[in-house]
Chains A and B, each alone.
Chain A
Amino acid sequence: MAAPDAPAAARPQLPPARPKGRPPRRKGNSAALLLIAPSIVFMTLLFGWPMVSGILQAFGGPQGLTTANFTRMAQDPYFWSSVGNTLLLIVVMIPIQFVLALAMALLIRAKPRGSSAYFYIWAIPLAVSDLAAGLVWLTVFTDRGYLNSLLASFGLDPVSWLAYDNYPSMFGAVLIAEVWRATSLVFVIVVAGLQSIPKDYEEAAGVFGANFWSRLWHVTLPLLRPSLQTALILRTILAFQTFAVALALTGQNFPLVVGETYRWYTGLQDPNVASALALVVMAVSMVTAVGYLKLLRDQSEAPR
Chain B
Amino acid sequence: MADISIKGLHKTYPGSTELATNNVSLDVAEGEFMVLLGPSGCGKTTLLRMVAGLDFPDEGSISIGGRDVTYLPPQDRNLSMVFQSYAVFPHRMVRTNIAFGLVMKKVHREEIERKVRWAADLLQLSPYLDRYPAQLSGGQRQRVAVARAIVMDADVLLMDEPLSNLDALLRLDFRAELKKIVQQLGSTTLYVTHDQVEAMSLSDRVAVMKKGQIAQLGSPITVYEEPADRFVGGFIGSPPMNFLDGRITQQGALEIGGQGTAAPEFLARAAARTGGTPVMVGIRAENIALAERGSEGSLDAAVEVVEPLGHATLLTVDLGGQTIKVQVPSTVRVSSGDKVGLRFDPAALRFFDMETQLGLTA
Question: What residues of chain A lie closer than 8 Å to B87, measured between beta carbons?
Answer: 198, 200-201, 203-204
Q: From residue 259 to 304 of chain A, which have CB atoms closer than 8 A to chain B?
A: 298-302, 304
The CA of A214 and the CA of B105, in the complex, are separated in Å by 11
Docked CA distance A234–B132 (Å):
29
Whether A211 is near chain B, meaning CB under 8 Å from some CB there, is: yes
What's the Cα separation between A300 and B96 when bound, in Å? 12
- Given A223-B91, A225-B91: A208 and B100 within 8 A (CB)? yes
Q: B34 within 8 Å of A by Cβ?
A: no
**A300 touching B75 by the CB < 8 A rule?**
no
Residues of chain A within 8 A of B83, CB atoms compared = 200, 203-204
A7 at the A/B interface (Cβ < 8 Å)?
A: no
Pick the residue among B52, B85, B91, B133 that contacts A207 (CB under 8 A): B52
At the interface, yes or no: A56 with Cβ under 8 Å from chain B?
Answer: no
Interchain CB contact under 8 A, A206 and B91:
no
User: How far does the alpha carbon of A206 sit from the alpha carbon of B75 in the complex, in Å?
Assistant: 5
Per the 8 Å Cβ criterion, residues 41-90 of B in contact with A are: 52-54, 73-75, 79-81, 83, 85, 87, 89-90
In this assembly, does A219 line the interface, its C-beta being within 8 Å of a C-beta of chain B? yes
Is A100 in contact with chain B by the CB < 8 A criterion? no
A208 near B152 (CB under 8 angstroms)? Answer: yes
**Shortest beta-carbon distance from B145 to chain A in Å:** 8
List the B residue with the shortest CB-CB distance to A298: B91
B104 at the interface (CB under 8 A from A): yes
CA distance A279 to B132 in the complex (A): 41
Least distance between B157 CB and chain A CB atoms (Å)? 11
Task: Assess whether B104 is in contact with A209, with CB atoms less than 8 Å apart.
Answer: yes
A207 with B134: CB separation less than 8 A: no
B135: interface (CB < 8 Å): yes
Q: Which residue of A lies closest to B101 (CB)?
A: A208
Task: Using known A-B contacts A204-B81, A209-B101, determine if residue A299 contacts B132 with beta carbons closer than 8 Å.
Answer: yes
Is there contact, CB below 8 Å, between B75 and A210? yes
B148 sits at the interface (CB 8 A): yes
Docked CA distance A208–B152 (Å): 8
A295 to chain B: closest CB distance in Å?
16
Q: How many residues of A sit at the interface, in one of the four size bands?
A: 20 to 34
Tell me if A83 counts as interface (CB < 8 A to partner B): no
Judged by DSSP, the binding face of B is: mixed
Chain B residues lying within 8 Å of A300, measured Cβ to Cβ, are 90-92, 132-134
Judging by beta carbons under 8 Å apart, are A208 and B104 in contact?
yes
Asked if B74 contacts A207 (CB within 8 A), the reply is yes
A163 within 8 Å of B by Cβ? no
* Structural contact, A203 and B135, CB atoms closer than 8 A: no
Is the beta-carbon distance between A205 and B100 smaller than 8 angstroms? yes
User: Shortest CB–CB separation between residue B244 and chain A, in angstroms?
Assistant: 45
Name B126-160 residues within 8 Å CB distance of A: 132-135, 148, 152, 158
Is A206's CB under 8 angstroms from B101's CB? no
Does A222 have its Cβ within 8 Å of any Cβ on chain B? yes
Most buried by B among A209, A210, A214: A209
Which residues of A, 166-212, contact B by the 8 Å Cβ criterion?
198, 200-201, 203-211
Q: What chain B residues lie within 8 Å of A304 (beta carbons)?
A: 135
Complex Cα–Cα for A198 and B88 (A) = 11
Query: Quick one: given A208-B100, A209-B101, A210-B104, are A203 and B74 in contact (CB under 8 Å)?
Result: yes
Q: Of all chain B residues, which has the CB nearest A302?
A: B132
- Contacts of B89 on A, CB cut-off 8 Å? 201, 204-205, 218-219, 222-223
Complex contacts, A206 vs chain B, CB 8 Å? 53-54, 73-75
Q: B275-311: which have CB < 8 Å to A?
A: none
Min CB gap B216→A, angstroms: 29
A200 CA to B134 CA in the complex, in Å? 17
Q: Which residue of A lies closest to B75 (CB)?
A: A209
The answer to whether A209 touches B91 (Cβ under 8 A) is no
> Which residues of the other chain, B, contact A205 by a CB distance below 8 angstroms?
89, 100, 104
B104 touches A214 (CB 8 A): yes
Instruction: Across the interface, name the chain B residue whose C-beta is closest to A221.
Output: B91
Q: How far is the CA of A299 from the CA of B91 in the complex (A)?
A: 7
Q: Which residue of A lies closest to B106 (CB)?
A: A209
Please judge, given known A-B contacts A198-B85, A299-B132, whether A207 and B90 are in contact too, CB under 8 Å.
no
CB-CB < 8 A to B52: which residues of A?
203, 207
Cα–Cα distance between A217 and B81 once the two chains are bound (Å): 21
Residues of B with C-beta under 8 A to A210: 75, 100, 104
Tell me whether A209 and B54 are in contact in the complex, defined as CB-CB below 8 angstroms, given that A200-B85, A219-B89 are known contacts: no
**Chain B CB within 10 A, most for which of A204, A206, A300:** A204
Q: Which residues from A are CB-within-8-Å of B104?
A: 205, 208-210, 214
User: Measured between alpha carbons, how far is A207 from B74 in the docked complex, in Å?
Assistant: 5
Distance of A96 Cα from B83 Cα, bound (Å): 36
- A221 CB, min distance to chain B CBs, angstroms: 9
- Cα–Cα, bound, A165→B271 (Å): 106
Q: Which listed residue (A208, A214, A225, A298) contacts B148, Cβ 8 A?
A: A208
Residues of A within 8 A of B148 (CB): 208
B window 180-234: CB within 8 A of A: none
A residues with CB within 8 A of B: 198, 200-201, 203-211, 214, 218-219, 222-223, 225, 298-302, 304
The contact sample of 18 A-B pairs, CB cut-off 8 A, is: A200-B85, A201-B87, A201-B89, A203-B74, A205-B100, A206-B53, A207-B80, A207-B81, A207-B158, A208-B80, A208-B100, A209-B101, A209-B105, A222-B89, A222-B91, A223-B90, A300-B92, A300-B134
Listed in ascending order, the chain B residues whose CB lies under 8 Å from chain A are 52-54, 73-75, 79-81, 83, 85, 87, 89-92, 100-101, 104-105, 132-135, 148, 152, 158
Which 9 A-B pairs rank lowest in CB-CB distance, beginning with the nearest?
A: A208-B101, A209-B104, A204-B87, A200-B87, A300-B132, A222-B91, A206-B74, A207-B81, A207-B74
* Known contacts A207-B80, A208-B148; 7 further A-B pairs (Cβ under 8 A): A200-B85, A201-B89, A203-B74, A204-B81, A204-B83, A205-B100, A205-B104
